[in-house]
Structure 1
Amino acid sequence: MERPTWAPGEVDLERPSAARVYDYYLGGYHNLAVDREFAEQAMLAMPELPLIMRTNRAFLRRSVRYLVSQGIRQFLDLGSGIPTVGNVHEIAQGAAPGSRVVYVDKDPVAVAHSQVMLDGNDNAAVLLADMRDPESVLAAEPVNALLNWSEPVGVLMFAVLHFVDDYEVAQQTVRGYLDAVPTGSYLVVSHGTHETVGERGKQVERLYTRTDNPFTPRNQAQVSRLADGLELVEPGVVYLPSWRPDSPEEVEDHPERSSTYAMVARKV
């Protein structure tokens, strides 16, 4: 397979990438034939997957706007993925110019494209790192150059913790960042579940073992425990379309079809 100009040398062209598959679901073009083939197989089991990904992006927009309304002006987006329209810095800086954003991802394709997108934006940066190592991420130069640890931070984990297979590691990862940020900071999480899709979801889960990020769905109670010690923002842990929709039309008759929980919580 010929290597695309946008794919760094360390990218395995024969193995699907969860970040590139997500990009394909959203209609992007930073993906390979192996990613598209994988996505099509997954959609045979769950045809609603692209809709779920778009619903997750809508939650990103609503939650970031909410944090801005609460005075948050700096954001740490962990597992940020390949840039698509409506990124955190676009939403935050559009609502509050001067907002500062640091993206973190371990996928070199995601980081390379983020660097291009952020060129000339002095209030946004990207870091190539594994978010499961909070100590290293928090010590990194781009993070400390933009984020002021004496001010509240929005810690964002959109559709990424379900790629951490060990639940204890997922909890420790969240806690590692929350321990570093001051009171008044927020945690935002969206997390996949199979509580309503049964065997179809299990088929997708099995497929994801072929990617660089196997998928581990969790139930509502497990997602809720990720915010232990924090103050949940109403309406709590709910399916994506039900978290503070902009209009009644955004809430589907069956929001559980999003197969993803959403929550926002405040450190008190």
Structure 2
Amino acid sequence: MSDGARGHSRFHAVRSRLEAMAVEPGPRGWFLEFLVFGFKQGWACLFGGLMLALLLGTHFFWPDDAPLHRYDAITIGAVLIQLAMLAFRLETPKEALVILIFHIVGTVMELFKTAAGSWQYPEASLLHIGAVPLFSGFMYAAVGSYIARVWRIFDFRYTGYPPAWTSYVLAAAIYINFFAHHWTYDIRWFLFAATGLLFWRCQVWFRPLHVHRRMPLLVGWGLVALFIWFAENIGTFARAWTYPSQNDGWHMVGLEKLGSWYLLMIISFVLVSLVQRPKGRSTAP
């Protein structure tokens, strides 16, 4: 058995033991379920967590006179992380394909946004396209990786999910608006309203332990967007990228960015839904 297969088997052995534990009614049972929920969430965040560790580690410890640019080291590290995710079977080939698409979608957006002055990459690099170092696409890929993994690990099921084609149209409109609002009217408030109209009845059912729990999908997206905002603050603190307002010193990214991340979440979710087809609650075991 390969090291990757062994690592994959160990995780599933731990997960199986946790899920086999008896859950007592009351606070002790709820606490155990909460612990397993946290364990699964942490496992789903593996790609993003490793990327943040890479950003912070190179920020604090990368020598200024190193022969390899820090940004290039981050890019190489990100590639190795992605290869390891596949080698250890932590992502399926189909999930990796969707993440690659998201990587390309994110890089195109980065090229446009940096040219428009929305944000910048202050350090030099050899591995870049235009003003965008290649590691930037992996930050978007980390979001896609999380959604794909959390969907599978928590066995997502849905009630009230709208017709799939409507989500595709919504995601396309959101992506176009990220570019078009620089020349025309910003329709993000219309997009928020359309999102609410389409998904206000949708419940996501997730299984932390033995039974499926439910949450409004709109709330789930909001929580994930909030944690992405926290990660963005870590990224800008590590000088992986900066906003113009941070040129004179780091400060927290404004809360208004939560709206942008919320909309980006929808694009990510829809891309993953191309592989992880939304299943109805009635098909749950």
Higher strand share: 1
Higher helix share: 2
The TM-score, its normalising length taken from structure 2, stands at 0.21
Looking at CA atoms only, which structure, 1 or 2, has the larger radius of gyration? 2
**Larger RCO, structures 1/2 (Cα 8 Å, 6+ apart):** 2
The TM-score, its normalising length taken from structure 1, stands at 0.22
